[in-house]
Amino acid sequence: MNRKNLLFVLAALVVIVSSGCRSTFPKPPILVSLIPAPPATLEVGLSTPLSATVTGDTQNGGVDWTVTCGSANCGSFSVAHTASGASTTYTAPTTPPTGGTVTITAASTASTSGANASATITITPVATAGSLTGQYAFYVSGYDTTGSLYVAGGSVTLDGMGNVTAGEEDFNSSSLGTPSVADTLTGTYTVGNDGRGSMVLAAASGGVPDPNVGVGGTQTLSFTVVNNNHVLIEEFDANFTSAGSLDLQTTTAATALTGGYSFYFQGTDGPNAYVAAGVMTADGAGNFTSTADVDIDSGGSVSTGNSFTGTLAGPTLDASGRGVLTYGGDAFAIYVIGPEVFRIVDIDSTSFAVVGSAFGQGAGAGSFSQASLMGSFVFNNQGFSVLGFNEQVGLLTTDGAGTISTGIIDYNQGGVIPPMPPAPDTITAGTYAMASNGYGSATGTVTGNSAITTFGVYMTDPALNLSDPNNTTSGTGSALFVELDSEALGHGVLVSQAATSATAGNNAINLDGDVIVGPVDVVGQVSSNGSSAFSGSADANELFVPSQLSSVPLAGTFSADTTNAGRYTGTLSLNGAIAPYGLVFYQANGGLALHILEDPLNVGIGVIEQQQ
């Protein structure tokens, strides 16, 4: 073979070998993986971060995100395209889609074969009618169209299908000559996907609609479900506006009322604003006694160390968990929530109209001391001052030996707020005392308001959550906290601060106050990002406009106080108001924040509770 032919053969072999090599090592396929896997379920309105990793993509084209479902609104992404490994945020729709699920798909942008990964997420409502099943006690306090304070307490039995099958209510207004006592209740209720709902009650006395209650005997309540056992409520009709709660009753046995209790009730005594609080002992046979352990502030006239003896008639409670407690010539209806909690509403035929609660002291009864109060505590107070409504929130740090180490307070007394907002006033020279039966007091000097000086402190069972009485897993370690000053009075709680980060997710919120148009109550639901903003919707009853605003937008902004952990300042806007209210809240724990409007024209107080 000549040299020319040999070169030709060698060249041909090189081509053949090269071609064989290319077919032996094919281009790897593009693969998409959802890492980490998306959650199996997600509540309406909530968000979750998602990320996907693409392998085999030499172009680094990234990921395209889509969501499909059986409805028009399947939710949304913060960004619809991300780099491989980068995150987007998926936000669920506000209503579960048809079929209850959405399909999330992450597709490789560069793939010509449609390489992708997908996952199914079940979208769940916050609550349904079935969430509210059983017997619930409720109480409210607010105003009627005459501007008079009214109070009410009762019990309703809910069947989980939207029907109020039985109930009982006591209703008293300082404008009434005679209270409505033990009215019967029936009605209906609805619950939306966000936990907001409505209850319409027919109140009757002797089988006839009671004209004192609601509108011609029809009483409408708006509410937001916090959990199956606890609901924030407001009266939402043209004659009355108020705020309160609805809580599952776990016992109706009179014999369960035994041991030490701390209690308060607040309202009016004739022309005077009135608050009373203290500790008492129940013997299990219907007898309640207190020896020099009750404090009273009536229109600025303060008396401490009062005594009383009360008797629960019967002492058997009826099917609604209701009994009548009498002492000093006054009569009160009580509605039992559980062995350690009952609501109190005055049923006297006088201008005395008050409502309140009693909380058991548990195993701590008789063994409290200054050491029972040690650490950081968030507090609130709601009542009246010589300037108008009196609302307070703040933070105290105690040393367990009688000294309030540090203290801050935000307040609004008829439009008078701290001199230099958004900074709070400080509390100096603070001290406290505590007797073994849980009867205590606290004093301090508020730098910007010399009228705020004196408080009563009444210990409760450390295992109790005073805001949500059936919750035994969070929000515990509390005491009743009452202002007892000559120029201001009020009632509230002192809650051990277990967390300082604002709660992200779905939350119930309420507001009880007085704005430019007069008394107003708001109850609603908001979703919070936990760092700067929340938004949702609410029902607002602006009684003197008059106007009942249903499902109006509720939104807020907030930022953390870098000096005081757990304190946040911001704004609250209702129904798209151009000038939002000033807002301050203190985070007590992962499920509870206490807030007020710190606004010169608007006064209000409330809670933000995580929905579970």
Supply the pTM of this predicted model.
0.93
Confidence (pLDDT) at 255: 58
In this model, does residue 30 exceed pLDDT 80? yes
In this model, does residue 541 exceed pLDDT 60? yes
**Mean pLDDT to the nearest integer, 537-553:** 92
**Mean pLDDT to the nearest integer, 358-374:** 95
Confidence (pLDDT) at 25: 58
Contact 157, 348 (CB under 8 A): no
**Mean pLDDT to the nearest integer, 348-365:** 91
- Among residues 305, 244, 275, 277, the alpha carbon closest in space to that of 488 is found at 275
Interval 578-609: pLDDT, tens: 789 999 999 999 999 999 999 998 999 999 99
**Mean pLDDT to the nearest integer, 482-498:** 98
Length of the chain: 612
Banded model confidence at residue 96, pLDDT cuts 50, 70, 90 = very high
**Mean pLDDT to the nearest integer, 530-557:** 94
In this model, does residue 15 exceed pLDDT 90? no
Confidence (pLDDT) at 253: 61
Q: Which domains does the chain have, with CATH numbers?
A: 31-124 (2.60.40.1080), 128-248 (2.40.128.120), 499-612 (2.40.128.120)
Percentage of the chain surpassing pLDDT 90?
A: 85
In this model, does residue 384 exceed pLDDT 90? yes
Confidence (pLDDT) at 545: 83
Question: Higher pLDDT residue, 306 or 313?
Answer: 306
Confidence (pLDDT) at 11: 41
Interval 314-323: pLDDT, tens: 777 999 999 9
What span, in angstroms and rounded, lies between the C-alpha atoms of 154 and 162?
18
The b/e string for 38-66 (b: 16+ C-beta within 10 A; e otherwise) is: beeebbbbbbeebbbebeebeeebbbbbe
The tokens of 437 are what? 């039966």
In this model, does residue 436 exceed pLDDT 80? yes
Interval 254-296: pLDDT, tens: 557 899 999 999 999 988 999 999 999 999 889 999 999 999 9
Alpha-carbon torsion (36, 37, 43, 45), positive or negative: positive
Mean pLDDT of the chain: 93
Confidence (pLDDT) at 223: 98
Question: Higher pLDDT residue, 351 or 154?
Answer: 154
Going by their DSSP bridges, the two strands 301-312 and 388-399 should be labelled as unpaired
DSSP string, 236-301: ESSSEEEEEEEEE-----GGG-EEEEEEEEEEEETTEEEEEEEEEEEESSSEEEEEEEEEEEETTE
The single-letter code of the amino acid at 132 is L
Percentage of the chain surpassing pLDDT 70?
A: 95
Confidence (pLDDT) at 9: 40
Banded model confidence at residue 577, pLDDT cuts 50, 70, 90 = confident
Interval 218-238: pLDDT, tens: 999 999 999 999 999 999 999
Confidence (pLDDT) at 22: 46
Contact 526, 224 (CB under 8 A): no
What span, in angstroms and rounded, lies between the C-alpha atoms of 51 and 37?
9
Banded model confidence at residue 353, pLDDT cuts 50, 70, 90 = very high
Interval 517-538: pLDDT, tens: 889 999 999 999 999 999 999 9
Interval 392-422: pLDDT, tens: 999 999 999 999 999 999 999 999 999 888 8
What span, in angstroms and rounded, lies between the C-alpha atoms of 175 and 146?
8
